[in-house]
Structure 1
Amino acid sequence: MQEEALAQAQANLDVVTKKHAVGSASGFDKMRAEVEVANLKPEVISAKNNLQSAVTGLRTVLGLPRTTEIKVEGVLAYIDDDFSNMSLAEFQNQALAARPEILAVKEQKTISGKGVTVAASSFMPKLFFQTDYSYMAMKNDMKFGHGDFSKGFTSAISLQLPLFTGFKNSKQYQKARLDHKIMVDAEKQIFDGIAADAEMSYNKFQEARQKYQAAKESSILAQEALRLANLMYEEGANTQLDVLNSQLAVNRAKLNYVSSLYEYQMARYQLRKAVGKLTDVL
C-alpha cells in the first residue's frame, strides 16, 4: 500500500515537472510534489522493515532455523462466512451446546448431585445379606480322598441403624450439598460467560462486516476522486493542493480498507472460538 502511494506521488511529480517545464505550474507546486515523494519514501522503507520483522517473528514462533526462508502466499480478501445469516440466539445456542467448558461443568454438577444422594443414604438403615458356600477337607498327609471333604452353606442377614455417628454423617451431607451448590453456581457463571462471549463475538463480527462494506465504498470513491483531481489538474481546472489532498484521502481509505479486512478475518476466527469450532485455517 505504501509503495502504491509512493507510485501515485511520483506520477504526480512527473506531471507537475512537465507542467513546470512549460511554465504552467509554479516552482512551489513542483517543490510541494517533491516533498510529498520524499515524505513517502521513509514510510515505504519502514513498511518493508515491518514485513521482515513479522517474518522473523513468525520464524521464531514456529521454531525454525534463522536461515529458513518463509514465503508468504495468498491475499487478504473478503470471504462470505457461514455464520453471516445466523441470528444471535442461534449462535448463542450453538456455543452453549458445543463449548467444552459447559459440557465439563454439567458432568461435574451431575457427579456432585450423586454425591448428595450418597451422603443422604448415610442416614438410612442398611440391610446386609451375606451367603457363604464352603468345601473343606483336613488331613495330615496331603492324601485327600473324595470322602475327606465336607460341604457347608451359610447365609446371614443383618440390619444396621445409624442411631449416632458423632455428627459425622450430618457434616458429610452438608458438605455434599455445599459442593453441589457450588457446582450449580459455577454452571450458571460459565453459562452466562459463554453467552456473553458469544454475543460480543457475534456483534464484533457484524461490526467488522459493516466496516468492510463502508471502507470498500470509501476506497472506490477516493480513487475516483483522485483520478478526477489529476485530470482536472492536467487541464488547469484545479490546484496541486487538490491533488495532494485527494492522494491523502486515497491513502487513508486504503489503510481503512486493509484494516477492515484484517478485523473481519480476526472476527471470523473469534466466532469459531466462541462456539468451540476453531479447528482449521480460514
Structure 2
Amino acid sequence: MKKSIIIALALGCLSGHLSAQETFGSLYDVWNYALSHNADNLIQQMQIDQAGKNKREANSFLYPKITAGINGQDNIDIAETPVPGEIVGQPGKTVFLKFGKKYNYSAGISVNYSPLDWQAIYQSKIAKVNLELKTAGKSYFEQNLKKQIAQFYFAALTAKRAVEIGGSDLATADTLLWLTQDRFKQGTVDALAVNKAQINRNTVQQKLESSKQYRDEYFNNLKILLGLNASQPLELSGNLPGISQTGPEPEMLPNQRFLENFRLQSEMSAYEAKKAKAAFVPKIGINGYFGKYQFQDNLSFSFSSANWQPNNYIGVSISIPVFTGFSSRSRYAAAKIDKQVAMTTYQEEIRKSAINDSTLYSKYNSSMSIALAGSDTYRLSHDNLKLARKKYEQGLLSLDGYLNVFDDYLSAENQYLNNLSEFLTQKAVIESRK
C-alpha cells in the first residue's frame, strides 16, 4: 500500500512537471503570454494604478475637508480682565475680574473648503497627465518588449533551423570523409584530400555546436522575458516566416508610442509652469464650525443637552501673497525653462524619429532583397550538392570537385542564415509597432 502511494505521488509530480511545458505556435502566442506574465510589465501596471490613486488624491481639493472633534481644557490660571468699577459697585476704580470657569468642553464639526486654489487646480491637471504618461510608458514598454521577444523568437527559430541543417550537413560531411578515406586506401587520392575532408567535417561539427549554443541561448532569453523558470521546458512549434516580394507590403507605422511620452512630458511641464505662476494669485477659503460647549467648576462632564451651549460660525478668508523672498519668482522662472526644454526635446524627437523610421524601412527592404538572393543562392547550392554527389557516384566528378561544391554549399548556407537573421531583426521592429 505504501509503495503504491509513493508511485502515485511520483506519477503526479511527473504529470505536473510535464504539464508545465509551454508550447507556442506563433509569435502572437508568445506576445500574448509575455504581456500577461512578464514581471516588468506587471510592475508598469502597478505604477499606473499608483498614478490613478495619486490623481484621485489631487482631485480631493474639489471637496470640503470635514473633521469632527471633542476637546477638554483645564484652565489652571484664568486670566484677569480689567473692567470699570461701576459694574461691581465701585465707581471710579478699575477692577480686575476673572471670567470663565476652570473646566470647559467643546464638541463640533469643522468644515474647510477652498473654492479657488489655482495651484491645487493645476496639480490636479498634472496628476491627470502623469496618469496618461504612465499609461503611455507602459504602452511603449510593451512595444519594446514585443520587439525584443520577436527578435529572440526569430533568432531561436533560425538557430533551430540551423541545427536541423547542420545535422544534415554533418551526415554529408561524414559520408564525404568515409568516401575519401576509402579512396585513400585504394590509392586513388592522396592524404591532402583526406585532410581536407576531415577539416570540412570538423568545420561542420563546429558550426553545429555553435548553432546549438545559440539556440539554447535564445530560448533562455525568451524564458527571461516570458517569466518562465530555468527548468521549465519551452517549445516553439512555429516555422520561420517566408520571404516574398510579391506579398503585401508591411504596414509602416511611425514610432508613435515613443513620441507620445515626449508629448505628455511637454504637456506636464506646461502645467508645472502654470502651477508655479499660480503662486502669485490670491487664494479664497471658506471655513465653518458647528458645535456646542459647556463649562464646569469641577472635573465633571455632562451629556445633558441643557448643559451644552451652541457655538457656530462661518468665515471667508482671502490669502494674498505679498513677498516670499523671491522663491516663487525663481520657481516660476525655472519652470518656464523646463517647459522650453521639454517642448524643444519633443520637436527634436519628432525630427529624429522620422529619420530613424526612414532608415528602418530602407534597411527592411534592403535586407529582404538580400535575404531573397541568399535564399535562392542557398537553394541552388543545395541542388548543386545533390548533383555533385550523383556525378561523383557515377565517376563524372572528382573528389576534389565534390569537396569544392560542398565548400560552396556551406558558404551559401552560412550567408543565407545570416541574411535571414538580419531581415527578421528588421521585421521584428516593424511588427512590434502593431
User: TM class by shorter-chain length?
Assistant: 0.5 to 0.7
- Equivalent positions of 1:238-249 (< 5 A) are 242-249=401-408
- Equivalent positions of 1:47-126 (< 5 A) are 47-50=207-210, 53-54=213-214, 77-79=240-242, 85-88=249-252, 91-92=253-254, 95-97=255-257, 99=258, 102-126=259-283
CA distance in 2, matches of 1:50, 1:238: 32
* Aligned counterpart in structure 2 of residue 212 of structure 1, from 358, 371, 389: 371
CA distance in 1, matches of 2:409, 2:243: 25
Instruction: Give the unaligned 5+ runs of structure 1.
Output: 278-282
Tell me, yes or no, if structure 1 residue 173 matches structure 2 residue 293: no
Distance 1:261-1:78 versus aligned 2 partners, 3 A rule:
farther
CA distance in 2, matches of 1:116, 1:69: 52
Over residues 219-274 of structure 1, what are the superposed CA-to-partner deviations in whole Å (9 max), with x where a residue is unaligned? 2222344455556667777766554443322221122222233333433444455x
Distance 1:171-1:70 versus aligned 2 partners, 3 A rule:
closer
Distance 1:217-1:174 versus aligned 2 partners, 3 A rule:
same
CA distance in 2, matches of 1:32, 1:69: 48
CA distance in 2, matches of 1:43, 1:266: 27
* Aligned counterpart in structure 2 of residue 131 of structure 1, from 265, 283, 288: 288
Give the corresponding residue for 2:422.
263
Identity among equivalent pairs (%): 14
Which amino acid in 2 is paired with 1:206? N
Tell me the SS of whatever aligns to 2:292: strand
Which amino acid in 2 is paired with 1:78? P
Q: Shift of residue 12 of structure 1?
A: 6.8
Q: Shift of residue 147 of structure 1?
A: 3.0
Give the corresponding residue for 1:149.
308
Q: Shift of residue 208 of structure 1?
A: 3.3
When you count strand as a share of all residues, which structure comes out higher? 2
Give the corresponding residue for 1:280.
none
Distance 1:196-1:84 versus aligned 2 partners, 3 A rule:
farther
Tell me, yes or no, if structure 1 residue 185 matches structure 2 residue 340: no
Distance 1:13-1:79 versus aligned 2 partners, 3 A rule:
same
Q: Shift of residue 142 of structure 1?
A: 2.0
Instruction: Confirm or deny: 8 A CA contact 2:174 2:201 kept in the other structure.
Output: no
Q: Shift of residue 214 of structure 1?
A: 0.9
* Aligned counterpart in structure 1 of residue 204 of structure 2, from 44, 49, 53: 44
Q: Shift of residue 136 of structure 1?
A: 2.1
Distance 1:105-1:139 versus aligned 2 partners, 3 A rule:
farther
- Equivalent positions of 1:213-232 (< 5 A) are 213-229=372-388
Which amino acid in 2 is paired with 1:208? S
Q: Shift of residue 218 of structure 1?
A: 0.9
Which amino acid in 2 is paired with 1:86? P
CA distance in 1, matches of 2:363, 2:218: 26
Which amino acid in 1 is paired with 2:289? D
Distance 1:186-1:11 versus aligned 2 partners, 3 A rule:
same
Distance 1:205-1:33 versus aligned 2 partners, 3 A rule:
same
Instruction: Confirm or deny: 8 A CA contact 1:12 1:33 kept in the other structure.
Output: no
Instruction: Confirm or deny: 8 A CA contact 2:266 2:339 kept in the other structure.
Output: yes
Which amino acid in 2 is paired with 1:150? Q
Instruction: Give the unaligned 5+ runs of structure 2.
Output: 1-165
CA distance in 2, matches of 1:180, 1:235: 80
Distance 1:42-1:225 versus aligned 2 partners, 3 A rule:
closer
Instruction: Confirm or deny: 8 A CA contact 1:96 1:194 kept in the other structure.
Output: no
Distance 1:72-1:33 versus aligned 2 partners, 3 A rule:
farther
Q: Shift of residue 173 of structure 1?
A: 0.9
The answer to which of 46-55 and 256-265 deviates more is 46-55
Aligned residues: 259
Q: CA RMSD in A?
A: 4.5
Which amino acid in 2 is paired with 1:260? N
Tell me the SS of whatever aligns to 1:207: helix
Q: Shift of residue 181 of structure 1?
A: 2.4
CA distance in 1, matches of 2:319, 2:294: 35
CA distance in 1, matches of 2:349, 2:270: 18
CA distance in 1, matches of 2:178, 2:362: 42
Q: Shift of residue 55 of structure 1?
A: 7.2
CA distance in 2, matches of 1:59, 1:221: 31
Over residues 70-113 of structure 1, what are the superposed CA-to-partner deviations in whole Å (9 max), with x where a residue is unaligned? 898768733469x962343xx21xx313x4xx454444433322
Distance 1:250-1:4 versus aligned 2 partners, 3 A rule:
farther
TM-score (norm. length: structure 1): 0.66
CA distance in 2, matches of 1:184, 1:47: 52
Give the corresponding residue for 2:103.
none
CA distance in 2, matches of 1:221, 1:144: 103
Tell me the SS of whatever aligns to 1:166: coil
